[in-house]
């Protein structure tokens, strides 16, 4: 489905990505983990064809993503970003934000879109009356849930979750992680889960790629515990409390919910 082959990205003399290769199969959940500035978000922008790679190729179902810009690509791939300000027009209600991708990419009638909006809000654990509120009236966790609802509204094949749970308190984070797992079971979509928290990555995915300084230094598959990681940098992330947002007690709680 998604094939990233030997991708490089340079900004002037600065190398942001260096020989990055990664694949995501239909329905698969893959996590990409690394420190801030390691190149994770740059890679997500290249997948979404917001920028072009300096070398290598990114294929979506066998076609270069640069050839599928616009509706053809975004019908299949939807992002959820940590900074969700671009997802919302502050002068428009939540209903309008949820309606837009269905109207533009699916072309279904207004009455059907309205029914879907109510269903989407319920699926992400929000009351239906939130549809009539404005973005500034929602909490950070509620806005993140609306962004997830917007992303899944058109039934994409892949959702890119770029630091989608970063900055939330532990309780809200746990609820959204559990929601993401449930939605994937329900919809069958694939995830690219970008984070700097190995425990959150472990909860979401069995395939985890670790990125450092623009390179993937380790890709672990069929991961069931943190002991699966062997690279020194991966172990450094595990041992650095700065990059562990969930403590062990919190992690156990969501793992055995």
User: What's the domain range around 127?
Assistant: 85-155
In this structure, the answer to whether residues 99 and 179 fall within a common structural domain is: no
Tell me: pLDDT of 244 over 90. no
| Number of domains observed in the structure of the chain | 2
Q: Which of 210, 208, 201, 118 is nearest to 166 (CA)?
A: 201
Asked if residues 189 and 182 have their Cβ atoms less than 8 Å apart, the reply is no
- In a domain, residue 35? The reply is yes
Share of the chain above pLDDT 90, in %: 53
140 and 222, same domain (yes or no): no
The CA distance from 182 to 149, in Å, is: 13
In a shared domain, residues 101 and 131:
yes
Alpha carbon distances (Å) from 256 to 96, 150, 203, 249: 37, 28, 10, 11
Report the helix count and the strand count for the chain, using DSSP H and E. 9, 10
Q: 123 or 69: which carries more pLDDT confidence?
A: 123
Give the model confidence (pLDDT) of 17-54 as tens digits.
Answer: 999 999 999 999 999 998 888 999 999 999 999 999 99
CA dihedral 86, 118, 192, 85 (to 10 degrees): 10
In Å, how far are 45, 104, 205, 235 from 222, measured between CA atoms?
27, 38, 9, 18
User: Is residue 254 located within the same domain as residue 209?
Assistant: yes
Question: What is the torsional sign of CA 245, 249, 255, 257?
Answer: negative
DSSP label at 219? E
| pLDDT tens digits, 141-169 | 888 889 999 999 999 999 999 988 877 77
- pLDDT value for 242: 47
**What confidence tens digit (pLDDT) does each residue in 168-214 have?**
777 778 888 888 898 899 889 999 999 887 778 888 998 999 999 99
Beta bridge partners of 55: 8
Question: How many angstroms separate the CA atoms of 187 and 185, rounded?
Answer: 6
pLDDT given at position 141 = 84
- pLDDT score of 245 more than 60: no
Which residue, among 145, 202, 165, 196, has the nearest Cα to 41 in the 3D structure? 196
| Boundary-marking domain end, from 155, 181, 215 | 155
Same domain, 141 and 172: no
């Amino acid at each position: 489905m998604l094939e990233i082959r030997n991708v490089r990205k340079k900004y002037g003399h600065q190398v942001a990505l260096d020989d990055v290769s990664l694949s995501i199969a239909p329905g698969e959940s893959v996590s990409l983990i690394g420190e801030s500035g390691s190149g994770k978000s740059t890679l997500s922008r290249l997948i979404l064809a917001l920028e072009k790679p300096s070398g290598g190729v990114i294929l979506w179902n066998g076609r270069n993503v640069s050839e599928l810009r616009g509706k053809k690509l975004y019908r299949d791939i939807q992002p959820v970003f940590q900074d969700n300000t671009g997802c919302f027009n502050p002068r428009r209600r939540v209903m309008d934000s949820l309606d837009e991708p269905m109207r533009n990419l699916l072309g279904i009638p207004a009455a059907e879109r309205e029914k879907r909006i109510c269903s989407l809000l319920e699926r992400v654990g929000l009351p239906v009356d939130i549809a009539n509120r404005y973005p500034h009236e929602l909490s950070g966790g509620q806005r993140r849930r609306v962004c997830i609802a917007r992303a899944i509204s058109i039934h994409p094949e892949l959702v890119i979750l770029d630091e989608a749970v970063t900055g939330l308190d532990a309780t809200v984070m746990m609820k959204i992680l559990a929601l993401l797992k449930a939605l994937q079971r329900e919809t069958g979509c694939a995830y690219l889960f970008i984070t700097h928290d190995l425990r959150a990555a472990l909860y979401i995915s069995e395939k985890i790629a670790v990125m450092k300084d623009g390179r993937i230094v380790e890709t672990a598959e069929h991961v069931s515990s943190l002991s699966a990681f062997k690279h020194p940098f991966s172990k450094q992330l595990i041992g650095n409390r700065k990059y562990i947002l969930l403590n062990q007690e919190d992690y156990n709680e969501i793992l055995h919910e």
